[in-house]
Structure 1
Amino acid sequence: MKKVFTILAMTGLMLLSSVQDIYAQTEPVAEKTFHQVLKQRFIEGGPFFMGIVLVTLILGLAIAIERIIYLNMATTNTEKLVNDVEEAMGSGGVEAAKELCRNTKGPVASIFYQGLDRMDEGVDAAEKAVVAYGGVQMGLLEKNVSWLSLFIALAPMLGFMGTVIGMISAFDSIEAAGDISPAVVAGGIKVALLTTVFGLVVAIILQIFYNYIISKIDSIVNNMEDASIKLVDLLIRNK
């Protein structure tokens, strides 16, 4: 969680400094860059709902970056690990293999250690330990991913809510003016639709990260299952 809060704080400071730069600008710019136009549209959309969508983006990116770092660190060359464990068992027995797994990072090595630690109770006990601890490691891999999917669903809904409220404000302006002025209608609708655009943009960005994280988790889980089967076969051969 410390990593999440650190990344969250850094991302928030960067985005807030960008927003502050907009308000600090007083002189008109002849030609605006894409970044400047984006910031201008953000301000035009209104501080309340646009701010909520921005917070959703910051939280989602913080979780996505933390998960990507964790999953990359959890990736292990399972073929090499299986071969190293087999060599260690051949030369130094189960204790040597356990020491190798203890000094190797990643969920596969942790699963191997749990299986080897139950080897004295029999192959069946070792296999049960591998399966049970595999479920624990899978839960660690999927940690906080549900929050990311929540932010993906939440961002466009907040945008749509901002649009509906903006449309209501536009009709209130028309009612107060007593006349359907194109300027009043166009201005109100533009401001209302900006929240939807930003909500959809946030959802698209987070969805890309989400799909990458899910595919990474599936790849690691498949490697874990394949390596677990190889470990059980190795334990059977060396019982």
Structure 2
Amino acid sequence: MSLLQQDTIYPLDSLAGAAQQTVELANEKISLIDLLFKAGWIMIPLALLLFATLVIFVERYLTIRKASKYDPSLMSHVKQSVLSGRLDSALSVCRASNSALGRMLEKGLLRIGRPIKDIEGAIENVGKLEVARLEKNLNLLSIISTIAPMLGFIGTIFGVIIIFRDVEAAGGIDIASVSGGLYVKMIASATGLTIGILAFAGYHTLNTMLERLILRIETDAIEFVDLLDEPGS
């Protein structure tokens, strides 16, 4: 056999072997969980971050949504009671509402008779406490959206290290020596980015809901202060 024939046959044999190995890998059924576990230990902190993201988002979403339920009769009843001098009735309605706006108006009603600036300050202080309560743990989503892709990048680095280690051990580059590190590299990166995107989207979704709620509460609070500041009220 000539040298030309040898150079032609051996690469074809290598390609045929690689193609056969690729077909076998394609035919192998791997579940999603098994595929994720191939990324190694880096998936443990990523799984914890995913769990924290889901728990925080669901809990904050339900809390903010509950606080966002608007009762139009609250302001109208408080207005009528204040104008008619029935402060006890207005206080009862505010307490029964069990809402952020109700607690703010209640504080303002308890300050009636004092300077309007004192009333405004009391309402503002209660408003800050209500907003802080609604924002609880919200910043954790922003932190997770930054940390998760970084952890995925760490997995990428470990995947590259594994590839070089396996190539060195095999004495050359082939699919078997590269595939293990590629699993770690690609799965960790994809998982980290996915969790980061989910946390980022959840953070901004909740912030948008909260901003709308705050705007409506502030509008009603200003309307209440204007009512008290009107002559004869």
Q: Note whether the superposition's TM-score is higher than 0.5.
A: yes
TM-score (norm 1): 0.79
Candidates 88, 92, 99, aligned match of 1:99 = 92
Distance 2:96 2:133 in 1: 19
**Residue in 2 that maps onto 1:177:** 170
Candidates 176, 179, 196, aligned match of 1:186 = 179
Query: Is the Cα contact below 8 Å between 1:119 and 1:125 reproduced in 2?
Result: no
**Residue in 2 that maps onto 1:218:** 211
**Residue in 2 that maps onto 1:41:** 35
- Deviation readout 1:142-183 (Å, 9 max, x if unpaired): 111111111111111111101101211111111122222232
User: Is 1:83 equivalent to 2:76 in the alignment?
Assistant: yes
**Residue in 1 that maps onto 2:199:** 206
Distance 1:41 1:230 in 2: 58
Q: Percent identity?
A: 30
Report the RMSD for the aligned CA atoms in angstroms.
Answer: 2.0
Gaps of 5+ in 2: 1-26
CA shift at 1:92, angstroms? Answer: 5.6
**Residue in 2 that maps onto 1:125:** 118
- 1:109 and 1:120, CA in 2 relative to 1: closer, same or farther beyond 3 A? same
User: Is 1:108 equivalent to 2:101 in the alignment?
Assistant: yes
1:200 alignment partner AA: L
Query: Is the Cα contact below 8 Å between 2:155 and 2:189 reproduced in 1?
Result: yes
Query: Is the Cα contact below 8 Å between 1:155 and 1:203 reproduced in 2?
Result: yes
- Deviation readout 1:55-82 (Å, 9 max, x if unpaired): 0010111111111111011114264321
Candidates 158, 165, 168, aligned match of 2:158 = 165
User: Is 1:135 equivalent to 2:160 in the alignment?
Assistant: no
1:95 alignment partner AA: D
Distance 1:65 1:184 in 2: 43
Distance 1:175 1:159 in 2: 24
Query: Is the Cα contact below 8 Å between 1:155 and 1:202 reproduced in 2?
Result: yes
- Deviation readout 1:173-214 (Å, 9 max, x if unpaired): 111222222321133223321101011111122222212101
Candidates 143, 147, 167, aligned match of 1:150 = 143
1:225 alignment partner AA: E
1:131 alignment partner AA: E
Larger C-alpha radius of gyration, 1 or 2? Answer: 2
Query: Is the Cα contact below 8 Å between 2:43 and 2:188 reproduced in 1?
Result: yes
**Bigger mean CA offset, 142-151 vs 129-138:** 129-138
Distance 1:95 1:217 in 2: 31
Structure 2 SS opposite 1:158: helix
Gaps of 5+ in 1: 1-29
User: Is 1:60 equivalent to 2:53 in the alignment?
Assistant: yes
Candidates 217, 220, 224, aligned match of 1:227 = 220
2:49 alignment partner AA: T
Between the two proteins, the alignment pairs up a number of residues equal to 206
Structure 2 SS opposite 1:99: helix
